Amino acid sequence: MPVQNSEIAKIFYEIADLLEIEGANQFRVRAYRNAARTIEGYPVRVYEMVESGEPIDEISGIGEDLAIKIQEITNTGNLVMLEELRSRTPQSLVKLLDISGLGPKRVQKLYHELNITNIEELREALESGKVSEIEGFGPKTTESILEALESQSFGKERTRLDIAEQFVDPLVEYLKGLSYVEEAVVAGSYRRRKETVGDLDIIAISEAGEKVSKAFVDYDSVSDVISQGKTKASVKLRSGLQVDLRVVNKDSYGAALLYFTGSKTHNIHLRHIAVDKGYKVNEYGNFTDDDYLLGETEEKIYEFFDMPIIVPELREDNGEIEAALNHDLPDLIQLEDIRGDMQMHTVESDGKNTLKEMAAQAALLGYEYIAVTDHSSHIGVTQGLDEEDARAYIKKIKAFNEEQHEVHVLKGVEVDILKDGSLDLPDEILGQMDVVLASVHSNFQLEEEQQTNRIIKALENPNVNILAHPTTRMIGSREPIQMNLQKIMDKALALGCYLEINASPERLDLQDGSIRRARELGLALVISTDAHRKSELANMKFGVFQARRGWASRSMILNTLSLDDLLEQLKRE
C-alpha cells in the first residue's frame, strides 16, 4: 500500500509531541520534528525510494534509526514504537499542546497530577478549581487556559495567503504612518509566500519600541492582546488572525528581517555555518564574542557568509544554502516575465465577464495574449460548451481577433476528463483549438492506479496540451486526488504536453514541491489564473509566487514566451 510522505511525517510529529510530554531529550524530540518537516516537503515519495532500494538515510536529517523506522512504516503502515508510546502516554494529550499557554511540561503535570487526558477533562478540572491547586498553575495561568479553551482558537487553522493579504496592507500602513516608526514590513511565511500563513510577523524600525508596541495593540481591528512588551507584542485580530510585532533599531533590521522571515530550518542552517566559523547570529545581527559586526541588511548578512542574497521564497532549507554557497541559485521567474494568461472563463460557460471584457483587462495588465478556455458541457453546473456551442465560439474568437489587435486571443477549451479517460468533446472540435486544457472535475475518489491511468489516457489524446489543476486539491477543503504525479509528469514529458500551475489562491495546484520535481525532470509548465471574472486575472502573482517557491526559472514557464514561440511549443508531433 502506497504510504504518502505526509503520513510518515504525521507519525513523526506525533512521536515528537509524545516524547516531549514524557520529558525526553529535547534534541531527540527535535530530530523527529525535523525529520517530519523534511519528509513532508520532500519532492519524491519516500515509499517509492524504499521500494526501489534508494538509500533514504542520505536525506538530510534522516539517520540510520529513522531510516529503519521509515521502512517499517512503508512496509506495514504502522510503527510499533508509536504504539508503545501511546500505551504509556495517551495520544489525546497531543491535542492539549495546541492550546495556547500549554506546553509539554504543563500537559505532563496535568496528566500526572490530575490524570487529565483530553480537553473535556481539562475543562472540568479548570472549572472545578482543581487545576489551580497544582503548583505552578496560578490564577492568571488557569484563567488564560480557560480563555483559550473558550475562544476555540486552538487547533489553529492556517489562513490563505490572499486572505492574509487583505489584513496586511492596512496594518502595515497604520504602523508606517506613526511618526516614530521608520519602517514596517511583514516577515514570516507571508514573506516567503507560502500558500497559507499561520500568523503574521511584522518588523518595525523604531527607537521607541514601547510606543510602537502600545500603538500596535491599540490598532482598530485588534480584539485580544496576547502579550505586550518593550520590543515585541502579540495580538489577535477580530478575524482570528494572530499578528506578532517585533521592534528593532536600524542596525538590526536585516538580522531581524532574516530571523523572522525564517524558515526556522533555514535560520538554523545559517546559524550552524556561523557557529562553525566562530560567529554568533541572532535577530540583532552577527557577532563575534559579544561584539556587533553587522546586521543592517539581509544582503550584508548573506554576503558575510559568502553568499548572494537568497530570496524569501527559497528559504526552506531545501538546498538553497548549498546552492547559494556554490553561486548556483536559480534565476527565478518574475511576474513581469508573464506575457499571457493560459486559462480563463467567460459568460460562455461559468465566467462572469464577456470575452471582450476579459481581453480589455488583459490589455491593462500588459499581456500579449490570453487563452480563453471555457468549460465543456459535462459538468452541468458550469453550462459549458457542447459541440454546436464550440463551433460558434471558435468563429467568435476568430472575428474578435480580426477586429482588435491589442491582445491576441487563443481559441481554447477546458475539456473534462471523463471517468474512463476519454474527453468530453470530439477530436474534430478539439483539433480546431489553439490550446486544449484537460482537467478532472469528477470521480475524485478513484484509486490511485485507475486515477493515474485515466489522466494518462487523456494526455495521450494528441489534441491535449495542458493538464489543468493537476491534483484538483482546494486549500483547506479538498485533498489532492490519489494519483502518481511522477508517472504523469514522465508521460507528459514524453508526449510533449505540459502541466499547469493554477494560480487561483484557493487552488495553487501544482504545489511547490511538485514544481520543483518538474524542474528536475525538465518538464515545462504554464501558470494561469483560471479567472472567472476579470478582476481575478490579477491572481497571476500567486501562481508566480508558487512557481518561485518551486525554484522555477523563466525558461520553464511557457507563457513567458512570445506568441509565436508559445504556439510552436504547443504543437504536438
Partner DNA sequence: GCCGTTTTCGGCCCGACTGTTTTCAGTCG
Q: How far is the CB of 116 from DNA (least distance, A)?
A: 13
Q: How far is the CB of 46 from DNA (least distance, A)?
A: 13
Q: How far is the CB of 177 from DNA (least distance, A)?
A: 22
Quote helix, strand, coil % in the chain, to nearest 5: 50, 15, 35
End-to-end CA, the chain: 37
Q: How far is the CB of 36 from DNA (least distance, A)?
A: 12
On whether the CB atoms of residues 316 and 41 are closer than 8 A, the answer is yes
Q: Which residues of 368-382 are buried (b: 16+ CB within 10 A; e: fewer)?
A: bbbbbbbbbbbeeeb
Interacting residues with DNA (CB under 7 A): 25, 27-28, 30-32, 35, 57, 60-67, 97, 99-107, 135-142, 144, 188, 199, 201, 213, 227-232, 234, 242, 244, 260, 264, 267-268, 271-272, 275-276, 278, 280-284
Measured from the CB atom, the residue of 180 and 334 that comes closer to DNA is 180
Measured from the CB atom, the residue of 326 and 445 that comes closer to DNA is 326
Measured from the CB atom, the residue of 247 and 556 that comes closer to DNA is 247
Measured from the CB atom, the residue of 18 and 566 that comes closer to DNA is 18
Q: How far is the CB of 310 from DNA (least distance, A)?
A: 17
Measured from the CB atom, the residue of 17 and 389 that comes closer to DNA is 17
Which residues neighbour 151 within 8 Å (Cβ) at sequence distance 6 or greater?
224
Q: How far is the CB of 263 from DNA (least distance, A)?
A: 11
DSSP for 215-272?
A: HHHT-TTEEEEEEE-SSEEEEEETTS-EEEEEEE-GGGHHHHHHHHH--HHHHHHHHH
Give the other-Cβ count within 10 Å of 443's Cβ. 14
Amino acid at 364: L
Q: How far is the CB of 276 from DNA (least distance, A)?
A: 5
Measured from the CB atom, the residue of 125 and 338 that comes closer to DNA is 125
Using a 10 angstrom Cβ sphere, with 0-12 exposed, 13-18 middle and 19 or more buried, the burial of residue 58 is exposed
Which among 36, 22, 199, 144 is positioned nearest to 94, based on CA atoms? 22
Measured from the CB atom, the residue of 67 and 436 that comes closer to DNA is 67
Q: How far is the CB of 290 from DNA (least distance, A)?
A: 9
Measured from the CB atom, the residue of 198 and 462 that comes closer to DNA is 198
DSSP for 302-322?
A: HHHTT-PPPPGGGTTTSSHHH
Measured from the CB atom, the residue of 190 and 367 that comes closer to DNA is 190
Measured from the CB atom, the residue of 67 and 333 that comes closer to DNA is 67
Grid cell 517530519 is found at: 36
Q: How far is the CB of 318 from DNA (least distance, A)?
A: 14
> Phi/psi of residue 499, each to 5°?
-115, 155
CA dist list (Å): 524 to 214, 442, 520? 50, 26, 10
On whether the CB atoms of residues 337 and 557 are closer than 8 A, the answer is yes
On whether the CB atoms of residues 527 and 335 are closer than 8 A, the answer is no
Q: How far is the CB of 400 from DNA (least distance, A)?
A: 51
- Classify 349 as helix, strand or coil: coil
